[in-house]
Amino acid sequence: MALAANLGFPRVGAARELKKAVEAYWKGALSSTALLDTAKELRMRHMNLQKNAGVDIIPSGDFTLYDHVLDTIAMVGAVPTRYGAVAGDVSLDTYFAMARGSQKDGTDVVAMEMTKWFDTNYHYIVPEFRKGMKFTLSSRKVIADFVEAKEAGITARPVILGPVSFLLLGKCYGEDGLDALSFLPDLLPVYESVLQELHAQGASWVQIDEPCLVLDLSDAAKEAYKTAYARLSTVGCSLMLTTYFGALKDNLALATSLPVEGLHIDVVRAPEQMDDVLAHANGKVISLGIVDGRNIWKTDLSKALNRLEHAAERYSADKIIIAPSCSLLHSPIDLALETDMDAELKSWLAFATQKLDEIVLLRDALHGNKHVIAFSNNEAAIADRQVSIRIHDKAVQARMAKLSAKDTERHSAFDDRIEKQRTALNLPLLPTTTIGSFPQTQEIRAMRAKFKKGEITEQAYDAFLEQATTDVIRWQEEIDIDVPVHGEFERNDMVEYFGEQLNGYAFTQHGWVQSYGSRCVKPPFIYGDVSRKNPMTVRWSAFAQSLTKRPVKGMLTGPVTMLQWSFVRDDQPRSTTCKQIALAVRDEVVDLEQAGITIIQIDEPALREGLPLRHADWKDYLTWAVESFRISAAGVQDETQIHTHMCYSEFNDIIHSIADLDADVISIETSRSAMELLDAFVDFKYPNEIGPGVYDIHSPRVPSQSEMEHLLQKALDVLKPEQIWVNPDCGLKTRGWAEVRPALEAMVAAAKAQRQQIEKSQAA
Ligand code: 39S
Ligand code: ZN
């Protein structure tokens, strides 16, 4: 009999209980016991929810206080020495210090790096490898969680991140040429002990995640897989080797030849691989990820059932497991909480809780026990979504049909534009600006919450925002920022705020998804053709501009980022949806220009994370992504200056596309790498203007004027002075005013000091 399995459940809780508890603990307002109690309560609640849904195979160990890769770092004791941990033991405070850095009792240790989990908006802590690093079992959390579930009457399937992906997702520090895979022989004994202990506790199966099997792998990595699984398969537990986010492709023979008992594949992203995998399955249990773990649409149950029946005929129903494509970590928790949502839209959706029901319905139907009503309701919803008049907008489609190369071109080339812009803007050398947001204080969030709950009037909320905006403009004038911003106090999130205002987009009340650690986002979803109803940002940009003679920069989220950080419709190519968003952004850009805004920033922090996981698919993506950005920017006159901003980015391998965006100015994160990131721009002879960040906003530290001058000098060593802007690394929304004020004052002073030196040397 085929079984229904889950691969992982969202951790934060329906009311974001985990976020609140963890943040309270960090503030010292909650004891560690109370934090761990909340965590346990959530684990039990989620396990029981899965059990009551009828799921046969329930994961344990998928819960984490911060991040599952960090949990693996703790498990194997890969704790960098700067945290001063005792070997074999990772305390709660060491764990959080790795995640967030720590400044107390006179110590000051930086956090570990964080980066995107494959092509999702989830961020993981990057394992750090250094020469001579030794591994020892240092956290028994995965064993304890299994035992905890067992005591509650649930024999779970523990989840661990596999050793090869763990190494491939990490980064080597110190010596050049150090290879993460060289640590495999030292690492495997720790994995063996974990599996032994789990086996001893009664775990018959273990889910071992190896998502790197869907990437382009080196020969060494392929060898590492063989070495690792030859060893781990002898321990006693049956291993469910779990892959997701793409097709195995050239790694299919490798994956199916490994001596494991089970293989999970993603048949949502890569349906075409199912038959191939079944043909090479060698008697393994095959787990078919057929319910989309990363999107919010209802599964077409009849279609899915057909595919499962086909698989069962070809292979064997006993050896098939029905599962979500990946962990449900990436979906919101429960659609039932969306009490305000339009009924028709709601009928098209399934969140994590509903996805479990789908898996169980499919299992039962495969056994000949088809829940007729559930299937016919599903069929009706799927059919309604296909023909609903709300999806198609003739005007949008007519505009899309008329798109041509001309729409991606500014009137003149950069050299001509920049002359006109310099004359019009009359800015000093090394102009200072910020990325756009100022601190989103508790006060601001509380006012917005009150407004949304109807506890204060729109007028009161507006007046509050006007005051906050006025204060921040005045203050920027006082400290002499050349290009001030309005501060974005009116925005809850840089994607959700726009999603709320666009046709074809809808948003949720409680659809929180973990982004990193305790931080969550509420991605809006795109169900239909996208267009702009009304100007979205003109009111606040124009208000801010009315307060000052300086050019106030307008800020928009770019089309690629709007796409990447939303749940996207699956009934047309992503490129089509992206271009529709681009046209809506273009309308906003033109309206901002009309309203007297002369500098407009179109943020694209997600451009790089949208890159397909396989190199062969990059070119196609980059072509439409760059076109979309250009469509959004190209509606303005030469005199209007277009900026863009990117964070967390490595640029070397996409620098051509960055240049193709043809933004007049780009600001990037460089302070942590001490301007190393600039190398790509220098080697490429990037022609346009650049604002290399001089203030690391991901840390509460306040940088000194001399530190920032030093960074500016490094930039001046390799770029022309007329090319350089002075700004922080990223928006300031997550920081506090106590840090932002002195840091920006020092930044302006640093720019002025460097400016004087340049002018002196030019006069001489
Ligand atoms: N993806 C998106 N969509 N947006 C991003 O900015 C980023 N940045 C990167 C990459 N991906 C992104 C990730 N970085 C937060 C910060 C940085 C992130 C991601 C998230 C973040 O601060 N999230 C906030 C959080 O987890 C929520 C932001 C938000 O939507 O706390 N806030 C809402 C608002 O401001 C709701 C705030 C809220 O919690 O309106 N309100 C309380 C409630 O509803 C009440 C507030 C109160 O009374 O204090 O219960
Ligand atoms: Zn940024």
pLDDT tens per residue, range 588-622: 999 999 999 999 999 999 999 999 999 999 999 99
Determine which residue's CA is closest to atom 34 belonging to ligand 1. Answer: 492
In a domain, 643, yes or no: yes
Give the number of C-alpha atoms closer than 13 A to the C-alpha of residue 680, restricted to the C-beta side.
Answer: 18
Q: Name the residue at shortest CA distance from atom 44 of ligand 1.
A: 449
* CA distance readout (Å), 347 to 104, 352, 371, 382, 460: 51, 15, 18, 9, 36
Q: What is the pLDDT of residue 211?
A: 98
The residue ranking higher by pLDDT, 682 or 695, is: 695
Q: Tell me: pLDDT of 87 over 80.
A: no
Does residue 405 form part of some domain?
Answer: no
CA 615/CA 491 separation, integer angstroms: 36
Q: What phi and psi, each to the nearest 5 degrees, are found at residue 257?
A: -90, -10
Q: Sort residue 637 into left (φ over 0), alpha (ψ -120 to 50) or beta.
A: beta
What is the four-CA torsion angle of 607, 611, 615, 620, rounded to 10 degrees? Answer: -80
36: confidence class by pLDDT, cuts 50, 70, 90: very high
% of the chain residues with pLDDT over 70: 99
Tell me the C-alpha distance between 587 and 575, whole Å.
Answer: 19
Q: Please tell me the distance between residue 445's alpha carbon and the centre of ligand 1 in angstroms.
A: 9
Q: Whose CA is nearest to atom 39 of ligand 1?
A: 445
Contacts (Cβ under 8 Å, ≥6 apart) of 335? 346, 349, 350, 351, 353, 354
- Identify whether 318 is part of a domain: no
Q: What is the average pLDDT across 285-312?
A: 98
- For ligand 1, the distance from its centroid to the CA atom of residue 519, given in whole angstroms, is 7
* Dihedral (Cα; 134, 136, 141, 142), 10-degree rounding: 90
Mutational pocket test of ligand 1: of 17, 519, 669, the residue with most ligand atoms within 8 Å of the beta carbon: 519
Residue 86 has pLDDT above 80, yes or no: no
Residue range 376-383: average pLDDT? Answer: 98
Percent of the chain at pLDDT > 90 equals 91
**How confident is the model over 545-568, as pLDDT tens digits?**
999 999 999 999 999 999 999 999
Cα-to-centroid distance, 682 and ligand 1 (Å): 35
* Counted domains in the chain: 2
Determine the atom of ligand 1 nearest the C-alpha atom of 605. Answer: 10
Most confident of the following: 108-112, 216-220, 682-686: 216-220
Q: How high is the pLDDT of residue 572? A: 97
Stretch 6-11: mean pLDDT, rounded?
98
How far does residue 724's CA lie from ligand 2's centre (Å)?
18
Measured by CA distance, the residue closest to atom 10 of ligand 1 is 121
Mean pLDDT confidence for 90-119: 88
Q: What is the pLDDT of residues 156-172, one digit of tens each?
A: 999 999 999 999 999 99
Tell me which of 762 and 60 has the higher pLDDT. Answer: 60
| Ligand 1 pocket, residues with Cβ under 6 angstroms | 121, 440, 442, 445-446, 448-449, 492-496, 515, 519-522, 565, 734
Alpha carbon separation from 669 to 121, 446, 650, 714 (Å, rounded): 18, 30, 9, 14
Q: Please report whether residue 354 resides in a domain.
A: no
Residue 541 within a domain: yes
Residue 77, sorted as left (phi over 0), alpha (psi -120 to 50) or beta, turns out to be left
The DSSP element (H or E) to which 557 belongs, if any, is strand 553-557
As a whole number, the mean pLDDT across the chain is 96
Residue 648 has pLDDT above 70, yes or no: no
| CATH assignment of the domain containing 627 | 3.20.20.210
Which of 434, 480, 494 has its CA nearest to residue 728? 434
Q: What is the pLDDT of residue 89?
A: 86
Per the annotation, the verdict on 698 as an active-site residue is yes
Starting at the edge strand found earlier in the chain, the sheet holding 320-324 runs 3-4, 320-324, 285-291, 262-266, 238-242, 205-209, 157-161, 59-60
Which residue's alpha carbon is at the smallest distance from atom 14 of ligand 1?
515
Residues 178-190, mean pLDDT to the nearest whole number: 97
Distance 437 CA to ligand 1 centre (A): 13
pLDDT, one tens digit per residue, over 310-357 is 999 999 889 999 999 999 999 999 999 999 999 999 999 999 999 999
Residue 260 DSSP class: -
Give the residue, by CA position, lying nearest to ligand 1 atom 32. Answer: 492
Query: Is residue 263 assigned to a domain?
Result: yes
- The beta-strand segments (E) located in 147-223 are 157-161, 171-172, 205-209
Instruction: Establish if 76 belongs to a structural domain.
Output: yes
Domain range spanning residue 49? 3-281
The order of strands in the sheet holding 665-668 is: 553-557, 599-603, 641-646, 665-668, 689-692
**Å from CA of 491 to ligand 2 middle:** 16
What single-letter DSSP state applies at residue 437?
B
**For 393-443, what is each residue's pLDDT tens digit?**
999 999 999 999 999 999 999 999 999 999 999 999 999 999 999 999 999
**Ligand 2 ion local residues (Cβ < 5 A):** 605, 647, 730
675, pLDDT greater than 80: no
User: What pairs with residue 239 in β-bridges?
Assistant: 206
**pLDDT tens digits, one per residue of 242-263:** 999 999 999 999 999 999 999 9
What are the helix (H) ranges across 319-434? 343-346, 352-366, 372-387, 394-402, 414-425
Taking residues 524-540, report their average pLDDT. 98
Q: Which ligand is nearest to the CA of 22?
A: 1
Give the residue from 257, 281, 305 where a domain finishes. 281
Q: What is the DSSP letter of 127?
A: P
Is the predicted pLDDT of residue 88 greater than 70, yes or no? yes
The full 3-state SS of 66-112, as one line of letters, equals CCHHHHHHHHHCCCCHHHCCCCCCCCHHHHHHHHHCEEECCEEECCC
Nearest-ligand number for the alpha carbon of 562: 1
pLDDT above 70: residue 649: no
Residue 461: the pLDDT is: 98
381 or 86, which is more confident: 381
CB contact set of 499 (below 8 Å; sequence gap of 6+): 505, 506, 507, 523, 524, 525, 526, 562, 566
> What is the predicted pLDDT for the residue at 107?
74
Token pair 């729409």 is found at 407
**What pLDDT score does 1 carry?**
86
- Give, using CA atoms, the residue closest to atom 42 of ligand 1: 449
Q: Which ligand is nearest to the CA of 114?
A: 1
- 235, 264, 281: which is the final residue of a domain? 281
What is the atom index within ligand 1 of the atom nearest the CA of 19?
A: 26
The tokens for 593 are 């220009």
- Give me ligand 1 centre to Cα 733, in Å: 10
Beta bridge partners of 521: 513
User: Could you tell me if 95 and 70 are in contact, meaning their C-beta atoms sit under 8 angstroms apart?
Assistant: yes
Q: What is the DSSP string of 609-666?
A: TTS-SSGGGHHHHHHHHHHHHHHHHTTS-TTSEEEEEE-S---GGGHHHHHHH--SEE
Residue 535's pLDDT is what? 98
Q: Where is the domain boundary, 281, 297, 331? A: 281
Average pLDDT over residues 148-155: 98
pLDDT of residue 677 exceeding 80: no
Of residues 371, 392, 698, 710, which has the active-site annotation?
698
Q: Looking at the CA of 666, which ligand is closest?
A: 2
Residue 666 belongs to a domain: yes
